[in-house]
Every structure is written in C-alpha cells, then in structure tokens.
C-alpha cells in the first residue's frame, strides 16, 4: 500500500538480525513489514495467542519453526543455494551464527575452538556441555590415533578428556586403544578398515542429538513429521487391504471399498451336508473344509479359482474341525467325539489314526515344529502325541469343554482352550502357569491371530471380543452386528496385516469389520443358510472363504475381478440347493 514500503521490501528483510528475530517473535514488528508486502505469495501469517506468528488454518504451527525445518530439509536434499536463499528471504536463519561457527569448526576439525564456542551457545545444562565436550575431545583423540600421533592422543586423554569426569568406562576403553593400536595393522594397511575415528559429519549428527532441538534442528525432522501423518492416515483407512496402494502426499489416503472381498466368485458344492468348518493352509495354496457328511475336502487354490483335490473319507462321525501342519504337507481332521486322522495332502492318503479307547476327541492341533499333535478329549483333558502315535503328555482336569476349540501359540509355549463356560485357559506348558480370560457371557469359539498376540473370542450374546494375550490379558475391541443364537459361529482375522475381522452369522450373511476402528464395513449376502465358519486366505488378502449350512462354500473376492472376467454371476459347479442370490 504505501509507496515507500513497496520499493524496498527486499532490503528490509535482509536487515533482520537475530535480535530482530526476537522482536519478530513477540509480534511487534510484523505488522509493519508484512502489511504492505506486494504479491503476497507467502502463507498469510496469523497471530497466535502467544503472540508468535503462526501458519496453517488451526494456528498451531509456529512460522519460525516451520521455516527452519523447511530450510533444514532443503539442505538435507542438497539444495544448498535454495536453503541459503530461504534463510535470507525469510530473515529466519536456520541456526544462530554461533551455531554456524560451531558446526564449521567441527567439520574443519578445530577442536579446541569448538569446545570454547560450545560454551557460548547458551546451553544451560552443564551435563550436556560436558557430554558434548567429551564427544568432541574423543574425536580429537581418535583422529590423533589414526594419524599415529600417540603421545598427542595420550596428552589429550590425560589433560582434556579425563578431567571432565564423565563416562569413565569410555575413558578406560580409550586408554586401551593407546596401548594396542598395533593389533589391527598387521595384514592390512592401517588406514583401511581400522580407522578408529568416525567421520566428522557423523560427529556432528551425534552432537545434534545431544543438544536441544531448538539449538540445532534434528536431522530429517520434516520427513519425520510427514511420515507420521502418512502412518496416521493409513491406520485410519478402514478399507486398506492392498500393498500396492501407494500413499501420496497430494491427498489424504483413503482406500475405497473395492479393496475388500465382496463378490462371491465361486460356489463350491461337493459336500452333501452342512459344512461346519474350513481353513486355508498357511501358504494360501489350499483350503480344507469339513462337514456333517463325515468327510473333509482338500481344495486347491489356483489363479483361476478353487477346485477339488481330494475328498477324505473314513470318519464315522461328523467332522468338527481340521488343522493344517505348519508346512502344509499334512492335515489333521477331527471327528466329533471320535478319532483324529492325519492325512497326506498331495496323495490324500490317511497316514495315521489317533484314538484313545473309551474317549472321544473334540479338537486337534499341530505343534509349531510339526513334530507332535495335541487334542482335547471329551473327558475335558488335553493330550499330546508324537506323530507315530506315541502319547507324550496328558493334562487332566478341567482343561477343556466337550465341544471346544484348541490352539497353540507360535512359539509352542502356550496351549489355549475353553475350560469353563465363560473362561478361556492359556496354559504355559513349560512354566506350568495358567492364565484365564474371563468373560461375562458363555464363549462359543475363538481364533488366534497369526502373530499369536491376539485372540478373537465369540460370545453367546452375539459379540466378538478381541483380547491382547501378550503380557497382561487385555480386552481391546468389541465387534457387533452379526447374528448368533443357536449354533457355533466362527470368526477369523484376515486381510493385509490382519487388519480385518470376518465372521459367519446365522442370518446367512458374512460380516467384515475393520479391526482397528471396530466399524462394520461389509455384510455379504449369498448363502441360504447359517454361515458357520469363515477363513481369510493368508497369502491373498483379497480372498475369503465361507462355509454354510446350505452345504456350500463360497469364495469371495474383489468385485472388480468378477467384472473383468466377464462373468455375469458367480461360477458354480453344480446344482444350487437354494437360490443363491447375487
């Protein structure tokens, strides 16, 4: 506005010195210099309550700090001229002149002067000053040693470093360096691998960490703040299910619903009765399902879809569950209060039958090293066998219920089972310690996360509870929405980094929640009977399988996919038992 100001904005800015900076920060001079500035390309500065200039719509970013970290980032990127220009144009120096002198002295190796300058920087903590001096003098010492000036090094140690009385154990180490520098220089040249002193810029970085951040801006500060924001965005993204969804700085990250499996790509009909259980193998290449029809089926997962590999018959009772060996070469199947059978996946052959006369098994599982198996019996005990059938151990007493799940943690240390109506037992095999998850409601089933740190518990009252089982047992989240009143419904972890929870339901829908926020993101129709069990492919976050009383298994995938394969509806391999819907 004013003519005079218009003509000389640049020179006005150059005049700002560190004293004027101080004045700037309490706001008095600002209105004069900025009010008339032409071509206002800069962020419009506001006044915060504290009197310092701020930028951004929320008034929490201090302008001086903002400009300084930008300048630091420019220098880190190698844009020295831009950085210097920014300092000049904004009038906000990255470092005070004392600090600039200090940094130069360090890089040039003027150790004694730098120690003096250190005292002038204006640090108040004597301890920091001593620690920083120690680092500088240590560098001086080590560089002397590298140049083989042993007596100079010794003098530095005795007269400058030791009197600081900090870090005595390091002083000890340095003494031993003086005595035996020759250990390493035998074969190789002394300069090569054996330089004791690190580079001077590394020293500067170490000093940066020691000094308060207002004195020397920490390395990579701007990058760190941006990464923080990106991580927060990613965690808040409830549909985040694909690795290749890159994050961009241009707009807030938000995946679309299209990343979650929501389209039934295939309907598998090979069981002749209700399908109660299913599970993908660890490598995601196979799927095993078990049914009321007393058989289990191994399906193979291909690029183009899932197809039947083997039908495993032999049990005389409905099959309650299956369990994959850690290497996915073998499968255990458990008959309801019957026997356990071990099968070879590639041949479909039954390799062994585990039974205990007079008792029936209700659940089964593998040890993480694949060398033994364990099972819950209908007398509420838990038994362990070697693969050849030799019984290893047996815990009697109320360890499990008649119909119950059983898991073992990835380290092989804890066995988890439902031991009472409302409690889950976590038994540490070695330490013989028992921990309990107590619920108010009867528990119907549970499932263990891949990293063995969390347990998903299904309750009678139609809630699913997520517990942290590492260290102290803690309830983390609750998920609601599905229906369960009469049967056992199972849920599972799944998706990228197991960020989702999926569950079956008695209303024939498959439910999917975002694990972190607890938000229900999908309820998928399609089955015509209660959905008993779901399993998410561990190798493919876009594939989900569900097992239902309608005798079918549905394979769910991304809805784009089915559009691209030009199929009108889901592929099926036979007669539908009832109207599948879309």
Partner 1 sequence: MDVDPRLYELIAVNDNDIHNIVMSYLVHNCFKETVESFISCTGMKQPSDRLEDMETRKRIYQFALEGNALKAIELTEQLAANLLEKNKDLHFDLLSLYFVEQVCSRKCTEALEFAQMKLTPFGKEQKYVEKLEDFMALLAYEEPEKSPMFHLLSLEYRQHVADSLNRAILAHANHPTYTAMERLIQQTTVVRHCLNQERGKDGPHPFSLKDFLKS
- Measured CA angle at 510 (ends 295, 406), to 5 deg: 50
The number of residues in the chain equals 582
- The yes or no reply on residue 150 touching partner 1 (CB under 8 A) is yes
Q: Is the CB of residue 288 less than 8 Å from the CB of residue 296?
A: yes
CB of 189 to partner 1, least distance (A): 21
Q: Is the CB of residue 107 less than 8 Å from the CB of residue 99?
A: no
Residue 179 vs 353, nearer CB to partner 1:
179
Q: Per CB under 8 A, which region of 50-58, 146-154, 470-478, 545-553 contacts partner 1? A: 146-154
**Residue 206: closest CA among 122, 124, 156, 142:** 142
Residue 180 vs 564, nearer CB to partner 1:
180
How is residue 356 annotated by DSSP?
B
Q: Per CB under 8 A, which region of 176-184, 377-385, 411-419, 535-543 contacts partner 1? A: 176-184
* Strand blocks (E) in 379-449: 382-386, 391-395, 406-408, 414-420, 423-428, 433-438, 443-448
Q: Is the CB of residue 572 less than 8 Å from the CB of residue 269?
A: yes
Residue 174 vs 306, nearer CB to partner 1:
174
- The yes or no reply on residue 159 touching partner 1 (CB under 8 A) is yes
CB of 181 to partner 1, least distance (A): 9
Residue 57 vs 180, nearer CB to partner 1:
180
Our measurement of the distance from residue 138's CA atom to the centroid of its chain's CA atoms, rounded to an integer in Å, reads 39
**Count of CB atoms situated within 10 Å of the CB of 369:** 9
**Residue 136: closest CA among 206, 76, 71, 66:** 206
CB of 163 to partner 1, least distance (A): 8
Please tell me the distance from the alpha carbon of residue 113 to that of residue 127, in angstroms, as a whole number: 19
- The yes or no reply on residue 157 touching partner 1 (CB under 8 A) is yes
Q: Per CB under 8 A, which region of 16-24, 155-163, 292-300, 338-346 contacts partner 1? A: 155-163
CB of 340 to partner 1, least distance (A): 54
Please tell me the distance from the alpha carbon of residue 460 to that of residue 15, in angstroms, as a whole number: 75
Please identify which residue in the block is written with the tokens 């004069």. Answer: 32
- The yes or no reply on residue 47 touching partner 1 (CB under 8 A) is no
Angle between helices 126-146 and 111-120 (to 10 degrees): 170
- The yes or no reply on residue 136 touching partner 1 (CB under 8 A) is no
Please identify which residue in the block is written with the tokens 């031991």. Answer: 419
Please identify which residue in the block is written with the tokens 């999908």. Answer: 522
Please identify which residue in the block is written with the tokens 């996946």. Answer: 345
Structural Rg of the chain based on CA atoms: 34
- The yes or no reply on residue 174 touching partner 1 (CB under 8 A) is yes
Figure out which of the listed residues 162, 230, 350, 394 binds partner 1, where binding follows CB under 8 A.
162
- The yes or no reply on residue 158 touching partner 1 (CB under 8 A) is yes
Residue 43 vs 162, nearer CB to partner 1:
162
- The yes or no reply on residue 161 touching partner 1 (CB under 8 A) is yes
Q: Per CB under 8 A, which region of 43-51, 165-173, 240-248, 254-262 contacts partner 1? A: 165-173
CB of 116 to partner 1, least distance (A): 21
Would residue 356 be called left, alpha or beta, if left means φ above 0 and alpha means ψ between -120 and 50 degrees? beta
- The yes or no reply on residue 46 touching partner 1 (CB under 8 A) is no
Residue 150 vs 236, nearer CB to partner 1:
150
Residue 154 vs 255, nearer CB to partner 1:
154
CB of 406 to partner 1, least distance (A): 49
Residue 162 vs 521, nearer CB to partner 1:
162
Angle between helices 126-146 and 168-179 (to 10 degrees): 10
- The yes or no reply on residue 179 touching partner 1 (CB under 8 A) is yes
Rounded to the nearest 5°, which phi and psi values hold at 151?
-65, -35
Figure out which of the listed residues 11, 57, 124, 176 binds partner 1, where binding follows CB under 8 A.
176
* Number of amino acids touching partner 1 (CB under 8 A): 20
Residue 181 vs 368, nearer CB to partner 1:
181
Figure out which of the listed residues 60, 151, 187, 575 binds partner 1, where binding follows CB under 8 A.
151
Give the pairing of strands 571-572 and 275-280: unpaired
- The yes or no reply on residue 57 touching partner 1 (CB under 8 A) is no
How is residue 348 annotated by DSSP?
-
CB of 150 to partner 1, least distance (A): 7
Q: Per CB under 8 A, which region of 173-181, 190-198, 371-379, 508-516 contacts partner 1? A: 173-181
Instruction: Please report which helix (H) or strand (E) contains residue 511, including its range.
Output: strand 510-514
- The yes or no reply on residue 180 touching partner 1 (CB under 8 A) is yes
Please tell me the distance from the alpha carbon of residue 515 to that of residue 270, in angstroms, as a whole number: 33
CB of 151 to partner 1, least distance (A): 7
- The yes or no reply on residue 210 touching partner 1 (CB under 8 A) is no
- The yes or no reply on residue 175 touching partner 1 (CB under 8 A) is yes
CB of 187 to partner 1, least distance (A): 17
Q: Per CB under 8 A, which region of 178-186, 366-374, 489-497, 508-516 contacts partner 1? A: 178-186
Residue-wise burial string across 534-559, b where 16 or more C-beta atoms lie within 10 A, e elsewhere: bbbbbebbbbbbbbbbbbbbbbbbbb
**Residue 532: closest CA among 561, 502, 577, 559:** 502
Please tell me the distance from the alpha carbon of residue 292 to that of residue 276, in angstroms, as a whole number: 7
Q: Per CB under 8 A, which region of 63-71, 156-164, 194-202, 470-478 contacts partner 1? A: 156-164
- The yes or no reply on residue 166 touching partner 1 (CB under 8 A) is no
- Measured CA angle at 404 (ends 399, 407), to 5 deg: 75
Figure out which of the listed residues 98, 101, 171, 247 binds partner 1, where binding follows CB under 8 A.
171
How is residue 217 annotated by DSSP?
P
Our measurement of the distance from residue 453's CA atom to the centroid of its chain's CA atoms, rounded to an integer in Å, reads 12
- The yes or no reply on residue 178 touching partner 1 (CB under 8 A) is yes
Binding residues vs partner 1 (CB under 8 A) = 150-151, 154, 157-159, 161-163, 168, 171-176, 178-180, 182
């Amino acid at each position: 506005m004013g003519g005079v100001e218009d003509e000389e904005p640049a020179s006005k800015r150059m005049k700002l010195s560190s004293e004027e900076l101080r004045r700037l920060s309490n706001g008095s001079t600002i209105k004069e210099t900025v009010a008339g500035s032409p071509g206002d390309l800069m962020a419009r500065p506001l006044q915060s309550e504290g009197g310092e200039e701020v930028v951004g719509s929320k008034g929490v970013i201090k302008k001086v700090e903002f400009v300084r970290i930008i300048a630091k980032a420019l220098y880190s990127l190698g844009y020295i001229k831009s950085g210097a220009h920014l300092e000049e144009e904004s009038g906000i120096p990255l470092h005070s002149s004392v600090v600039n002198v200090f940094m130069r002295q360090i890089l040039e190796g003027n150790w004694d002067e730098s120690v003096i300058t250190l005292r002038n920087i204006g640090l108040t903590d004597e301890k920091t000053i001593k620690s920083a001096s120690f680092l500088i003098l240590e560098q001086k010492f080590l560089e002397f040693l590298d140049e083989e000036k042993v007596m100079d090094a010794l003098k530095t140690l005795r007269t400058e470093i030791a009197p600081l009385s900090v870090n005595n154990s390091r002083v000890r180490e340095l003494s031993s360096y003086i005595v035996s520098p020759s250990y390493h220089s035998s074969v190789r040249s002394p300069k090569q691998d054996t330089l004791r002193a690190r580079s001077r810029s590394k020293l500067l970085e170490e000093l940066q960490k020691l000094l308060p951040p207002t004195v020397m801006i920490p390395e990579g500060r701007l990058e760190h703040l941006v990464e923080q924001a990106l991580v927060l965005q990613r965690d808040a993204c409830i549909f985040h299910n694909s690795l290749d969804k890159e994050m961009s700085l241009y707009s807030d990250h938000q995946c679309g619903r299209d990343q979650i499996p929501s389209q039934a790509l295939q309907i598998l009909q090979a069981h002749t009765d209700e399908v109660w259980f299913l599970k993908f193998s660890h490598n995601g290449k196979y799927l095993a399902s078990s049914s009321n029809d007393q058989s289990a089926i191994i399906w193979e997962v291909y690029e183009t879809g899932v197809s039947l590999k083997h039908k495993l018959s032999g049990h005389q009772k409905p099959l309650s569950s299956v369990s994959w060996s850690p290497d996915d070469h073998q499968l255990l199947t458990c008959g309801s209060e019957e026997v356990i059978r071990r099968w070879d996946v590639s041949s479909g052959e039954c390799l062994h039958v585990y039974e205990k006369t007079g008792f029936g098994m209700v659940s089964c599982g593998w040890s993480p090293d694949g060398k033994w198996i364990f099972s819950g019996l209908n007398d509420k005990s838990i038994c362990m066998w070697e693969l050849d059938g030799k019984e290893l151990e047996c815990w009697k007493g109320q360890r499990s219920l008649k119909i119950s799940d059983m898991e073992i943690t990835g380290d092989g240390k804890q066995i988890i089972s439902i031991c009472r109506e409302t409690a889950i037992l976590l038994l540490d095999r070695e330490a013989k310690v028992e921990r309990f998850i107590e619920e108010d409601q009867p528990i119907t089933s549970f499932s263990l996360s891949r990293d063995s740190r969390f347990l998903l518990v299904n309750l009678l009252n139609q809630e699913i509870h997520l517990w942290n089982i590492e260290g102290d047992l803690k309830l983390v989240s609750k998920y609601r929405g599905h229906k369960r009143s009469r049967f056992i419904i199972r849920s599972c972890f799944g998706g990228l980094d197991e960020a989702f929870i999926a569950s079956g339901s008695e209303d024939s829908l498959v439910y999917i929640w975002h694990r972190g926020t607890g938000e229900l993101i999908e309820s998928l129709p399609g089955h015509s009977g209660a959905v008993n069990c779901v399993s998410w492919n561990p190798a493919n976050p876009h594939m989900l399988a569900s097992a239902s009383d309608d005798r079918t298994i549905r394979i769910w995938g991304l809805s784009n996919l089915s559009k691209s394969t030009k199929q009108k509806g889901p592929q099926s391999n036979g007669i539908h038992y009832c109207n599948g819907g879309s």
